[in-house]
Structure 1
Amino acid sequence: MKKPTTYAPVLVLALLLGLPALPGCNPEEQYAQPAKGLGVVLYLTPDMDSTYQVLALSGLAPRINKEGEFTVISPSNGAWADFIRTSDLYDSLRQERFWRGGSGFSDVLGFGYNYVLTGKKTAADLTAAGAVALGSERMRWQIGADGRMYAYDGATGQELGSAAILESDISLGAPNGVIHKIDRVIRHPGFPARTLAGYLADSAAFSTLRAAFARVPAYGKLISGGEGAFTVLAPSDSAFGAYFDAHPTYKSLDAMPTDTVVSLVNRLLYKGLIFPDLLNGNLTPIAPVRPGVTQVRSRKEYYYALDDRTYANRTYNIRATNGVVHLLKQIP
């Protein structure tokens, strides 16, 4: 049997943007067999082909097509899109370290192996006893009395979350198992649960912003957790570079006096979870700032308007354990 070709960048872009896989990624061409396996079913089902892309990245697509019986817990395409855009997995996928087998790649491996179970487990089977996924974390799936799909940490038994079952016992002629489609992605135990400070620390793009928070220890403590939920408008290092290049007085963060740094951070940190559709001028800043932030949505980008100036922002709603991050291309 022909070994499948790996097109990792193509598959990730298809997953993020909802594009069809290119020729050469078609499992029907790669797995010439009389009956279609679960991988082919996922690939050919419009609302589950994102799960196929994740399993392909994890190396599981060939396995669930030819080796024994399996059960796949498949979030819908919409569930994957929402999760990737609102979690730090999006940042991992965009960074070059992902392609070098860094932490982003291990995150995707976790989603592949923790969403596939050995054996054909029908809805009745999962209601009766549940089953453990292939991943080393031993994530367990079970249908509860309320009809929802629950995931549990295999080591501690802690509930990780639940999802509505959109459709169960899907086979579409596949002889080697079933698929259960759910409406959300549930984090596996090993997926990093980071605070706002942890997210900024783990991303190479925010060294200047981290340094700014370090200059204002009280604010640095707020984003480290335990003080409630916050929203960070996060300019990248390149945004800071452009800001200092154009600044008439200060050409680096180190050159700024502390009170000026405090004023800058005041424009980037807000109380509460604030999402783009709520950025309407009603923000509660940590300290008094210039007139409130408003938001206008165009076809392709979000813009934050501050004092009649706009700041493009394409990556938003990155969730942390204690808040949300919106990446800015310019400094307000």
Structure 2
Amino acid sequence: MKKYLMLFKFLTLAVILVAVSSCNSDDNDGPVRPAENIAQLAAATPDLSILVEALQRTNLTDDLEASGPFTVLAPSNAAFTTFLGQNNFTSIQDVPVDALTQILLNHVIASEFSSSDLTVLQRNYAATLAEGPTAGSFLSLYFDATDGVEFNGVSSVVNGGADILASNGTVHIVDAVIDLPTVVTFVGEDFNFEQLTTALTTATPGTDFATILSGDGPFTVFAPVDQAFDELLDSNPDWSSLSDIDESLLTAVLQHHVAPGNNRSGGLSEGLNLTTLEGDDITISLQVNAPFIAAITDGAGNDDVNIGFVDIQARNGVIHLIDQVMLPNTEN
């Protein structure tokens, strides 16, 4: 039954990802749109004046005048003021152009969805236009629309700021600037990773995984979903929680899920060996059944660890969901 539940969750995530990329209200039955494009709409909105200044500084104004459609999460003036203060900048002109460019692109999605679309989708990922650590990769954005709409756990749509239509997309005004995410950002916010978060923090206090995985990387994280940890605990009658596992063993297990490099799904090949931070290799196999895209043989020789949802892209690495906790070779 647990295996079925994990399969269902992977399927749900995959369907939602397709839905995010296909949501587009700009069809024959869609709402009547104004003549102003997103850049013009922002320029005409007093509470977006700092955003307009930022777009001009980074030469992104023309990009938001293109045909789109786009979804733009537009930080309010108060959001930018807070961002500037937190980073010791006096004005938007003090922010390095390259950094500001990527931060702004992290608020733009090259497809269109409304707040009602998000409410139906509830929790999932969309790809932004911000650049990832390897060529052709773009940063992911995690949204949670189960109670309002929140992005990467830090920014919410303000009251009255949703679903502002432009000729080339939709704008949602948000209350915080969304910084470029790390793999820690997604592990900490994604509802699939509550057990993994516990394992990386309170169950292993001797290792500062948050700092390690917030580093430059890049890292490839094979992230077990919650049910995978439930199965691990069920496998040993002495373990009722992750804190019951010997810390040195659990630390090695967690390190066995992280490999160097930004190994996206398109680069996973038959027989690929990846050396984990723990030291043992894991091996990729592409001979698996749908909906899983690949399987892994872990350091202990278990060859049925399935990779489901893939390519959650952070600025310092990529995350793939797996359905079992991988085990290192404890005899070496």
Task: State the TM-score, normalized to the length of structure 1.
Answer: 0.51
* Residue-by-residue CA offset, 1:194-245 (whole Å, 9 max, x unaligned): 11111111123222212222215244322113x3211111112222112111
What is the distance in 2 between the residues matched to 1:282 and 1:310?
A: 16
Question: Equivalences for 1:53-132 in 2 at 5 Å?
Answer: 53=25, 61-64=30-33, 67-68=34-35, 70=37, 72-74=67-69, 83=127, 88-89=140-141, 92=143, 97-104=144-151, 116=167
Question: Equivalences for 1:16-55 in 2 at 5 Å?
Answer: 16-17=17-18, 50=22, 52-53=24-25
Question: Equivalences for 1:1-332 in 2 at 5 Å?
Answer: 16-17=17-18, 50=22, 52-53=24-25, 61-64=30-33, 67-68=34-35, 70=37, 72-74=67-69, 83=127, 88-89=140-141, 92=143, 97-104=144-151, 116=167, 136=173, 190-191=177-178, 193-214=180-201, 215=204, 217-225=207-215, 227-279=216-268, 280-289=271-280, 291-296=281-286, 298-306=289-297, 307-332=301-326
Contact 1:86 1:318 (8 Å CA) reproduced: no
Larger Rg: 1
Amino acid at match of 2:322: L
Q: Percent identity?
A: 20
What is the distance in 2 between the residues matched to 1:15 and 1:283?
A: 29
Contact 1:281 1:293 (8 Å CA) reproduced: yes
Distance 1:244 1:63, change over 3 A: same
* Residue-by-residue CA offset, 1:2-45 (whole Å, 9 max, x unaligned): xxxxxxxxxx99874369xxxxxxxxxxxxxxxxxxxxxxxxxx
> Which runs of 5 or more structure 1 residues have no equivalent in the other structure?
1-11, 20-48, 119-132, 138-188
What is the distance in 2 between the residues matched to 1:13 and 1:324?
A: 17
> Which runs of 5 or more structure 2 residues have no equivalent in the other structure?
1-12, 38-64, 71-109, 112-124, 129-136, 327-332
Partner of 1:24: none
What is the distance in 1 between the residues matched to 2:161 and 2:182?
A: 20
Alignment RMSD = 4.3
Task: State the TM-score, normalized to the length of structure 2.
Answer: 0.51
Give the structure, 1 or 2, with the largest relative contact order (CA under 8 Å, sep 6 or more). Answer: 2
Q: CA deviation at 1:252?
A: 2.0
Q: CA deviation at 1:273?
A: 0.8
